[in-house]
Amino acid sequence: MKVALISGITGQDGSYLAELLLEKGYEVHGIKRRASSLNTDRIDHLYQDPHHPNQKLKLHYGDLTDSMNLTRIIEECRPDEIYNLGAMSHVKVSFDTPEYVGNVDGLGTLRILEAVRLLGLEKKTRIYQASTSELYGGIPENKNDNGFYDENSPFYPRSPYGVAKIYAFWITKNYREAYNMFACNGILFNHESPRRGETFVTRKITRATARIALGLQEKFYLGNLEAKRDWGHAKDYVRMMWMILQAEQPEDWVIATGKTTTVREFVRMSFAEVGIELEFKGLGINEKAYIKSCNNLEYQLELGKEILTVDPKYFRPTEVDLLIGDPTKANTNLGWIPEHDLASLVNDMMSSDIKLMKKHQYLKNGGYDTINHFE
């Protein structure tokens, strides 16, 4: 039986990847951080009884800032595959905690690579590093002749998060070349799902849309509506993580849909998904969205009501304006074909958040959103 170790198993990608690997018959070990309240919501459905002899998911307390802890966990489970997904993954928050992000997202990767090498597992253990499209920084002239970022495009990170991840990218490549390790970077463009963290823009939008439709919230606030992202579904992307480690050679791969969409359009699509048409008025920080029509009899919404305002506090000190990736190498060489497009992603996220908010409505009959901080 193959053994996999996942750092960041409690996150969006970690939870889908754990599901996939368990389905494939792996024994899956995950690193979780000790927190003052439970942080395993996304994987609770996979974790039965730790004393059960057939329990194939095993959790270890750990942290990417603690080399001895990582070395001990890797020594204990001697994995065939390590997926390093653990990170402080919020770009805006990385401006507030730059040193911490450097330590976790940058040096954390080195700690895993070095532990594998020191334990003499470099021939046995394949390593996936969660690299990111934030490495490109959205610099227009760095796109290829077809207008995409690909495996050969130059990097120009625009946040402490991107800068930390560029260290992780290069140290992974360096260990591959220096020690002949099977260590690969997946350069993943944005991927979302019903399990996406609540302060990333897509989930913030689908949650707010559901709450406004159900009359639980009046309006919401966003930052840069002009930003464009290449959004895919996390389920498709974790499948590709696994494929990268099954390839014949260790290489770096871009995973993307090849389409890009504004934040504004994502808002429009989310409301349209539940039968609400919006009208956007104003420019820049004065832009607002209003309800134009509603063809869903379930929702009692006032036409002309303002439901979205731009708030500059959500802008980043340096923004990545546009990202669009070219997944040709992954399509051609690994046969990766995504099952979801943007419309089916929005559909999945909206139906999940409508269900969730109906539950909130039922429990509280008029709850309030606690997740509307400064990100």
By annotation, the residues acting in catalysis are 132, 134, 161
Which one of residues 125, 153, 190, 270 is an interface residue with ligand F7E (CB under 6 A)? Answer: 190
DSSP H or E run through 331: helix 328-334
Strand partners, 58: 29
- Residue 192 or 273 having the CB closest to ligand NAP: 192
Q: List contacts with ligand NAP (CB under 6 A).
A: 7-8, 10-14, 31, 33, 35, 39, 63-65, 85-89, 104, 130, 132, 188, 190-191, 197
Which two three-digit tokens encode residue 141? 């002239």
Tokens 């995950």: give the residue.
30
* Residue 375 binding partner per list ligand F7E, ligand NAP, none, with a CB distance cut-off of 5 to 8 Å that depends on partner kind: ligand F7E
Listed ranges 23-31, 145-153, 193-201, 335-343: which one lies at the site for ligand F7E (CB under 6 A): 193-201
DSSP H or E run through 265: helix 263-273
What is the spatial distance between Cα 373 and Cα 375, in angstroms, rounded to a whole number? 6
Beta 57-61 vs 81-84: how paired, if at all?
unpaired
Listed ranges 65-73, 114-122, 127-135, 149-157: which one lies at the site for ligand F7E (CB under 6 A): 127-135
Q: Are 261 and 267 in contact (CB under 8 A)?
A: no
**Residues of span 197-216 touching ligand F7E by CB under 6 A:** 199-201, 204
291 binds ligand F7E per the rule CB under 6 A: no
Contacts of 31 (CB under 8 A, 6+ apart): 5, 6, 7, 8, 9, 59, 60, 61, 62, 63, 64, 70, 73, 86
- Residue 219 or 259 having the CB closest to ligand NAP: 259
- Residue 84 or 125 having the CB closest to ligand F7E: 84
**Residues of span 209-268 touching ligand F7E by CB under 6 A:** 222-224, 227, 229, 263
Listed ranges 61-69, 131-139, 338-346, 361-369: which one lies at the site for ligand F7E (CB under 6 A): 131-139
**Residues of span 75-94 touching ligand F7E by CB under 6 A:** 89, 91-92
- Residue 44 or 321 having the CB closest to ligand F7E: 321
Strand partners, 4: 28, 81
CA 138 vs CA 135, 298, 304, 317: distances in Å: 9, 41, 36, 14
CA 268 vs CA 13, 86, 96, 221, 297: distances in Å: 26, 32, 30, 14, 19
105 binds ligand F7E per the rule CB under 6 A: no
> How near is the Cβ of 63 to ligand F7E at its closest, in Å?
18
Q: Minimal CA–CA distance to 1: which of 78, 68, 104?
A: 78
- Residue 74 or 350 having the CB closest to ligand F7E: 350
- Residue 14 or 223 having the CB closest to ligand F7E: 223
Binding site for ligand F7E (CB under 6 A): 89, 91-92, 132-134, 189-190, 199-201, 204, 222-224, 227, 229, 263, 314, 316, 319-320, 375
